[in-house]
Structure 1
Amino acid sequence: MLLKTNPYYTQIISQKEALITTITASLRSYLESNFYPTEVVEEIVSKDFIEANPSYYLYYPYLFKDYFQIDDKETLDLLSIAGFLYYRAVILIDTIFDDKNSKHNFQKYFIANICQEETIKILSRFFGENPKFWKTWNLRKFEYAKAYKLDKTLKSINNIAEFEALADYKSAFGKIAIDCLYHLSNTKDKELYASLLASHKYFYVAFQILDDIKDYTEDVENEQFNISKHELILKLQSENDSIDSYTLEQQKKLLYLKGIAENLYEKATNYLEKSIVLQASFNTKNAQLWTNEIDGLYNTGITHFLNIKGFINMFNSQNKFSAELNSKTTIQDAVENAATFLQNSQASDGSWNDILNDAGVSDVWATSFVTQTLSEFDIESAEAIAYIQKHQLPSKLWSYNKVWLEDADSSSFALLSLHKHQISTEEAFNKWLNFQNTDGGFATYNDRNLLISSLNSPHIQNVEGWLQSHFCVSAVAFIVFVELGKTDTKEFQQLRRYVLNQLSSKNTLLSYWWTADAYALYYVLLAASKIHDTEIIRLSEIRIEIELNVETRNYFYKSYLLKALCLRENLIKKHSSKIDTIALQIISNQFTDGSWQGSHSLKMPHPNVINAAREDIQWKPANKGTNIIVKDFNRVFTTVSCLSALKNYGANIS
């Protein structure tokens, strides 16, 4: 289960935007040429309606034109107009039935009637009295009628097969576009026709599942069938419970706590996989609009699935950690207790899971981070190494979690972890070099199309902030070159110049993803110390001493500051008192279960943000959205960092 990405994504988006503009203009022109009053035209071509619905309803025939090799623009535009008008009529009629007492119903009926008439007029141009087409047209009308009846008869659907039929019937107006293209095509390929109809069906089954979860309250209040409620009823019955015992708000929570929503999102992605497969053998390199819609819905399902798992994970973690401080303990006891906490936090598959954002919970990055940190002290986990190896992507790199897009930072920690365990990393290292920008620094992501298609939002098209070089990512890359013995390469020299330029700059905050620089400065100083790079050591020490004067109760940063100070003999001598104080603060704030309080340390800037240190950005603690600060809710990142800091302190000072 991986996110669907497309190297031509931005081209496809541009094509869709052009179609929206063209068909909207053609639709308006068509209605005006038929002498409809301006107010009628404006109501049909309502900007609010168009923006509230999926954009493909404007250009439905274009989704499938390349399969049938129909390229005549006039034909496709007219069929698109007919398709939109029919969809507009269907929605208006639905609204009339759903709100029988509305004083606007006559106007809605009047507009719906116009839309239906114009649809028939356009289709008659192409199909005349063709009995085969009109037979199919009538079939689709009756399918939609069946869908309406099923939707309003709550007890008429008893299993998933019947739900599939409901979703297929509800999408009957969309299938008409496929019908039209088939009947206009020269070859009349029945196998292609059947496969596209099946692909369309499974797409809409998935669409209906996602829609039902989102519209739970609305569907229940309107007495419409809802698959998530149906599944919740069955689940509660299996537990000798009844849905009638719960309020509507409680039911919505149970969808997530009982695993109903999670299972349905997984079902939806499975249907979309079927949809992709069914059209694959007929697809050409030009037929990307339909697959783009499937991929987009698939990524929506995956994102929701990851977020649900993440929120349940976070919900379950709220009461499992100690809230009592273990203030009287030794360094050795603190280290052993932390190691026990991490051991208990490790999942049965060898992974550690922590940090929740829109991409879900991290497992691959988190596991690589913990494994690399522990490997500094020869603390090994064969299960964690096996997990990292198992979740190496086809690109040979690694990602934030096992379904997300590869990134430089996750790959850096994976490379360090595997190298420490004498596992070959040469091929992966060469792929990883592609994250280096022309300025010598390393970006988190390196492919605009793949990144935008992964983010899967029409509101995010500018991702330059995530494609630029990041000091915090480059800092870890710096130690990768050193540990893997690659310091004689031109890429390392370019990276060194980038790091040197950043350290020499007047910028007070260098890190992009982190709220302070102690983390990044530690890795830079560690690498520089190993290769005796006096210039970078000197500049790093200056910035570390600045960090030392910043008051914070963030134990993630305190631990990295302590680790950095313990790297250099001159810093130890100069700041021995402060070092002891930091170590004591860390020890005295450990909880009895061996953990430290998770820290709001990780920033999630909007992808278009270039300077994450901008004062006008209002950073807020959260788990969704951008321009937020995220906490390690499972306490893993902070705890392993504190363990590492105390080990360093114990080895170098105490």
Structure 2
Amino acid sequence: MSKQRESYFYKQLVPFLIGAYPNIQVQKAELLGKCALGYFNVLLTIDRLIDQKEKLNEDVAQLFGAIQLHEQVIRQLCELIGNQSSTGGLTFWSNFEVLKKKYVQTILFEKQISVAQKHLSEQNFEELAYGKSAICCAIVHGLQALCKEDAELSKIETILKHIHIAFQYLDDISDFKKDIEENQWTYPQVLLNDYLERNALEVHDINIRHKYLFLSGIAQKMVQKSVFHYEKAADLAQNIGLFDLQNYLLKERANALFYQNEINYLIEKTQLKSKKSQIFQTNNSLKDTIKNGLKYLTNNAKEGFWTDFMTSAGRGKTWISSYIGVQLAEHNLVPELLKTVLSDLSKTGSYNDSVMQDADSTTFLIGLHQAINGNIPGSLIDSWLKFQLPDGSWATYHNEAELRQALDLETDISVQGWLSGHGCVSAAAALVLSNIPNLSNQYDKTINQLVDLVQNNSLNAYWWTSDVYVQVFTLLAFCKTDCVPPTIKTKLLESIIALQNPDGFWRNPSDGEASPFYTALGLKAMVAYQAKNHRIKIENTIRWLQNHQTTDGSWKTSRILRIPATDVLHPTLVKHWRNSSFGVNALSDDHNRVFTTSTVVNALADYQKFIQQ
């Protein structure tokens, strides 16, 4: 449960509940909602200052600000509901006092538990979760006072109880590492300690404890508990006719189930990565290096296709299989396997079978059709060309309504970043277009647009952590035509080589480490254009790649794919990228190593072909 979602819930709470109070004045209800938000902010500020008591002197201004806001809220409530001498006010303020005491007692009890690191039962945890949200119930009593009629008070309070317990289960998972760092004792920490003790494991590293939270099954069980409470709350909301609240809760239930699915993917990814070789096998010949890489790829073509990367959309399938297929088909490697792969892929290009079509997946699917049999379905071509914009560039998506529906995004969240043309998408499309004669007009428009980007020094990657990706694919596309001046090609190659380390490799900017993926792309560029002028650099790269193949035939991977938020037009402006397989503004790795390994095998085969000529 993100803080943004909780904030949205509290802002919408009065509109969610107002259906139970048909005679209430809307203007008064809205003012009550504003008072509630102000009071919540006071409590959040004070609670934060208590947690950071060692910095209290630095936060005096915040404390006084909270006091002033508190005084303002109380005055507004008195004007709205009346004071303790009035009939309606007396009941409200009496109930408000009870709720405040419950909240304070809960907070103090939570602090005591945290300091002593006492054992927490599930019942203790849920009582704490509800007690911390006690003040929220004051809204119900406020609405009751304004309505001056009996409403289903106990049912509404029960709904709020279930909601806040659901919130807390998810919060404690998402804040697990942060809570440990800030010495906050939480229920999942208790459960994890019990698990580690039962299994005679001694783990002190926070990052490893965080992994065990998921590998132990604790996180999944807590998400299931959250789903249970969302369902209970939704059923009660439906029962008393609060349908907007019911819809919100069903949506949050779906989000929790989606999160549970991500956890399952994360566990699968972790288990898969643990089986990969970490040992380098040096001194192999070029022929054996390629052979071992092909063996790894063949062994990992599960069920006749490849998967790699793990994102909120699941495992990459059509995109991955098509990309790998194009790499291998270029040198007529494992042709029978590639026919099997193509026959199993979707008829429309998409990341996998469960998501909408995108440009890159379609680009490489078309490239695979062209490479294997030279016959591309007309409907696939027609759908692909919709991703090309009037200026010749290519966008990842083109249908805004479909994209919003797929991502469940409101209209106030921009999706322009994913609908705009980007060099890395255009470069891949240009390379595939170069092999399709009857699409020469589209190829020329794309090439011209890429030339403009090179000349304006604005050829940048959007979906990749290094510009090497877009630079290399652009150069490869340029090499297929005489229309691009040699000076442009040379300029592009020089910008690629400028990033090469003297030992022959290229780094991944996201972690500063040597990257086999970007190194293979750099090798392709040098072999493709003016290769004879760069023999020493090429040989250094070949040597580095041969010495960094692992014993299972693969090459190690890193977080090379980045997923900007839908409103991000320029990824360089994103201040923080998360190392995560899920969500946006995140960096993901090709954990199965097939994406990187196929790129390296292809580059080595390029070099092998070059030296044989």
* Pairing of 1:543-558 with structure 2 (within 5 A): 545-546=493-494, 549-550=497-498, 551-552=500-501, 553-554=505-506, 555-558=516-519
**Greater alpha carbon shift after TM alignment, 402-411 vs 72-81:** 402-411
Change (3 A) 1:146 1:619: closer
Distance 2:133 2:159 in 1: 12
Change (3 A) 1:246 1:436: same
Q: Which residue of 2 aligns with 1:171?
A: 133
Query: Of the candidates 293, 304, 307, which is equivalent to residue 352 of structure 1?
Result: 307
Q: Which residue of 2 aligns with 1:408?
A: 359
SS of match in other structure, 1:380? helix
| Aligned 8 A contact 1:440 1:498 in 2 | yes
Change (3 A) 1:465 1:175: same
- Answer yes or no: is 1:337 the counterpart of 2:292: yes
TM-score with structure 2 setting the length: 0.65
Q: Deviations over 1:501-553 (max 9, x none)?
A: 32255134623234666644665677788xx7653697985566546754451
Query: Of the candidates 431, 436, 460, which is equivalent to residue 511 of structure 1?
Result: 460
Q: Which residue of 2 aligns with 1:26?
A: none
**Greater alpha carbon shift after TM alignment, 424-433 vs 72-81:** 424-433
Q: Deviations over 1:301-332 (max 9, x none)?
A: 9679859966995798589434434223142x
Q: Deviations over 1:373-395 (max 9, x none)?
A: 34543263799779965xx9xxx
Q: Which residue of 2 aligns with 1:122?
A: 80
- Answer yes or no: is 1:623 the counterpart of 2:579: yes
SS of match in other structure, 1:207? helix
SS of match in other structure, 1:174? helix
| Aligned 8 A contact 1:439 1:494 in 2 | no
| Aligned 8 A contact 1:397 1:406 in 2 | yes
- Ranges in structure 1 where 5+ consecutive residues have no aligned partner: 5-49
- Answer yes or no: is 1:560 the counterpart of 2:521: yes
Distance 1:92 1:582 in 2: 56
Change (3 A) 1:506 1:229: same
SS of match in other structure, 1:647? helix
Instruction: Tell me the amino acid that sits aligned with residue 497 of structure 1.
Output: K
- Answer yes or no: is 1:639 the counterpart of 2:582: no
Distance 1:165 1:424 in 2: 62
Return the offset for 1:338. Answer: 0.7
* Pairing of 1:78-117 with structure 2 (within 5 A): 78-84=31-37, 87=40
SS of match in other structure, 1:54? helix
* Pairing of 1:242-641 with structure 2 (within 5 A): 249=206, 252-253=209-210, 255-256=212-213, 258-259=215-216, 262-263=219-220, 266-267=223-224, 270=227, 274=231, 306=262, 313=269, 317=273, 320-331=276-287, 333-343=288-298, 351-354=306-309, 363-364=316-317, 365-376=319-330, 377=333, 378=335, 380=337, 389=346, 398-399=350-351, 407-413=358-364, 416=367, 434-446=386-398, 465-478=417-430, 487=438, 493=441, 496-504=444-452, 505-508=454-457, 510-513=459-462, 514=464, 519-520=469-470, 534-535=482-483, 542=490, 545-546=493-494, 549-550=497-498, 551-552=500-501, 553-554=505-506, 555-560=516-521, 562-563=523-524, 586-587=545-546, 589-598=548-557, 623=579, 635-641=593-599
Query: Of the candidates 165, 189, 195, which is equivalent to residue 205 of structure 1?
Result: 165
| Aligned 8 A contact 2:88 2:148 in 1 | no
| Aligned 8 A contact 1:300 1:456 in 2 | no
Distance 1:601 1:143 in 2: 50
Distance 1:268 1:349 in 2: 38
* Pairing of 1:122-201 with structure 2 (within 5 A): 122-124=80-82, 129=88, 158-159=121-122, 163-164=125-126, 166-177=128-139, 200-201=160-161
Change (3 A) 1:350 1:80: same
Distance 2:575 2:220 in 1: 34
Distance 1:512 1:397 in 2: 21
| Aligned 8 A contact 1:441 1:498 in 2 | yes
Distance 1:130 1:56 in 2: 26
SS of match in other structure, 1:590? coil
In percent, how many aligned pairs have the same letter?
20
Return the offset for 1:643. Answer: 0.9
Change (3 A) 1:255 1:323: closer
SS of match in other structure, 2:449? helix
SS of match in other structure, 1:231? helix
Return the offset for 1:276. Answer: 9.7
Q: Deviations over 1:81-133 (max 9, x none)?
A: 342355467668979999999999x99999979866864663459x9549999
Change (3 A) 1:52 1:567: closer
Change (3 A) 1:436 1:233: same
Instruction: Tell me the amino acid that sits aligned with residue 167 of structure 1.
Output: A
| Aligned 8 A contact 2:293 2:554 in 1 | yes
TM-score with structure 1 setting the length: 0.62
Distance 2:441 2:360 in 1: 19
- Ranges in structure 2 where 5+ consecutive residues have no aligned partner: 507-515
Change (3 A) 1:431 1:266: farther
Return the offset for 1:639. Answer: 1.7
Instruction: Tell me the amino acid that sits aligned with residue 520 of structure 2.
Output: S
| Aligned 8 A contact 1:178 1:193 in 2 | no
**Greater alpha carbon shift after TM alignment, 273-282 vs 406-415:** 273-282
Change (3 A) 1:57 1:621: closer
| Aligned 8 A contact 1:600 1:621 in 2 | no
Query: Of the candidates 231, 247, 268, which is equivalent to residue 191 of structure 2?
Result: 231
SS of match in other structure, 1:437? coil
SS of match in other structure, 2:391? coil
**Greater alpha carbon shift after TM alignment, 145-154 vs 495-504:** 145-154
Distance 2:233 2:383 in 1: 28
Change (3 A) 1:385 1:128: farther
Change (3 A) 1:146 1:605: closer
Distance 2:247 2:383 in 1: 28
Instruction: Tell me the amino acid that sits aligned with residue 327 of structure 1.
Output: N
SS of match in other structure, 1:328? coil
Q: Deviations over 1:35-77 (max 9, x none)?
A: xxxxxxxxxxxxxxx9999365466314555787789552233
